[in-house]
Amino acid sequence: MKIASKLFDARINAYNLLVEVSICDYETLVKDVVKKNEFQRKRVRSSKSVYALLREDLIKQCVIPPIVLALADNIDFQQNDDDDDFQRKLEEAKDHLVILDGLQRTYTILELLYDLRASNDEATLSLVMGSKIRIEIYVGLNRLGILYRMLTLNTGQTPMSLRQQIEMLYLDYLTKEVDGVELIRESEAKNASKLNQYNFKDVVEGFNAYLDRDELPIDKADILENINSLEKLSKENQNTELFEKYLASLNKLVAKFNDECDDLEVSDEYIKEKGAPFGKNILQILKRPQAISGFGAAVGKLLDFEILTRLDDVCDIVDDIKIDDPNAFLEQINDSLLWLKGNSKKIGNAQRSYFTFFFRDLLNRDSDSYCKPLLSSKSALRKYQAQNM
C-alpha cells in the first residue's frame, strides 16, 4: 500500500488520501464490507454490461477509475503517518469502512478472483492479484460528512435514493442501543409493537424529513437536489450524532404520549359509528411513518425558524405535555385523520402534512396549542384545510 497524496477537504473537515494498493490487499480490506452493506445496490449481472467488460480489462491490467471509501469511525490518523503506519491503522478499522463509490467495480473484482480460483487458473490469478488499483479514502468524517460525499458521488444513471444512503450509514444502529430503542428491519418479520421498538425504515424516513425539512417522501432519484437540505444544518454542530438525538427525542415524545394516554383505546362505539380509525391507541398513531415524518419535518422547520435552538430542546419540551382528556384527544386526532382520508387525493401525503402542523403547534412555545395535544390536533386540521382547500 502506497499513499500517493494527502489532501484536506475543508468542506467536510476530513482528509482524502489517494492510495495505490494491490488487488490482493484490496480484497483483504473489503471482502467483508460488501457483505454488511445490505442497503447498497445489488450486483448488476447483465453479461452485456460494462462490468462484464471490466473483467477482461482487469485481466489485461487496465487502470480502472479510483474506488472511493470512507471510514465511518475515526482512526488515529496523523498527517505524517507513513505507508506502513496507515496500512496498519486501516486494517484495524476495516470493519467501519463504507464504499461510497465503486461498489459494482468491487463486486466485479471479487467475483473475478472467485472464478479464477474455482477454475484453478493460478497464472491469471497471480497476475490479477498483483495488479495495482487506486482507492480514495476519506478519513475523519462524521456521519453528516459521509452523507454529503455520498450525495455528490452517486450521480450516475442508477443512483441510490437518499433514504437508501441514510439506511446504509445508520445500519450499525440496528445493533447499537440508543436510549433503549430497538430498530427493527422489515426482513426480520417482527412487529415493532413494544413501546421502545420502531420500524427502521420509518425512522430513517423521519430522519430524512428532518434533514430535508420536508415531510413528503422523495419520489425522484436526482439526489443532488437534496444537498440543500444539508446546507440547512450549517447552524448545527456537525460533530454531534444528529441521528441519535433525533431518535432519542422521538422516543421520549412517544413515551410521554403513551404515559398520558395510559393504554387507552378508542371505544367500540366509535369504531362502529365511524369505521376503522387511523390508530386505535396512541402507539398505533405515533409509530406510523406519516407521524414520524411529520415529527421530523416539524422539528427541522422549528429549528430553521429559530423557535427551537437545538434538537435537545424537544426533550425538554416533552416533559410539559399534558393530556387532560385522553379519550377526547384520541377521538379528535382520529376524526381529523378520517376527514383527510375522505377529502384528499393523496391521503398519505395529506396525513404527513397534518402531522407536521400538529407537531409544529405542539412544540412551539408561541402557539396557543403549546404542549396541548387536543388543541394541536384541532389546529393542525384547520391549518391543513386553509392551505389546501
pLDDT grade, residue 365 (50/70/90)? very high
Name the β-bridge partners of 183.
Answer: 198
Amino acid at 179: D
C-alpha cell at 307: 423557535
Radius of gyration of the CA atoms of the chain, in A? 25
Higher-confidence residue: 15 or 135?
135
Amino acid at 48: K
pLDDT grade, residue 13 (50/70/90)? confident
Lowest mean pLDDT among 97-106, 178-187, 189-198: 178-187
Note the pLDDT of residue 39. Answer: 42
pLDDT over 70 at 104, yes or no: yes
Phi, psi of 264, deg, nearest 5: -65, 145
Mean of the pLDDT values across residues 71-76?
A: 69
Note the pLDDT of residue 349. Answer: 95
Higher-confidence residue: 176 or 371?
371
C-alpha cell at 45: 449481472
Global pTM? 0.65
Residue extents of the structural domains in the chain:
2-141, 162-388
Lowest mean pLDDT among 15-19, 101-105, 293-297, 354-358: 101-105
What whole-number distance in Å separates Cα of residue 302 and Cα of residue 291? 16
* In the block, residue with C-alpha cell 467483508: 32
**If you average pLDDT over every residue of the chain, what do you get?**
84
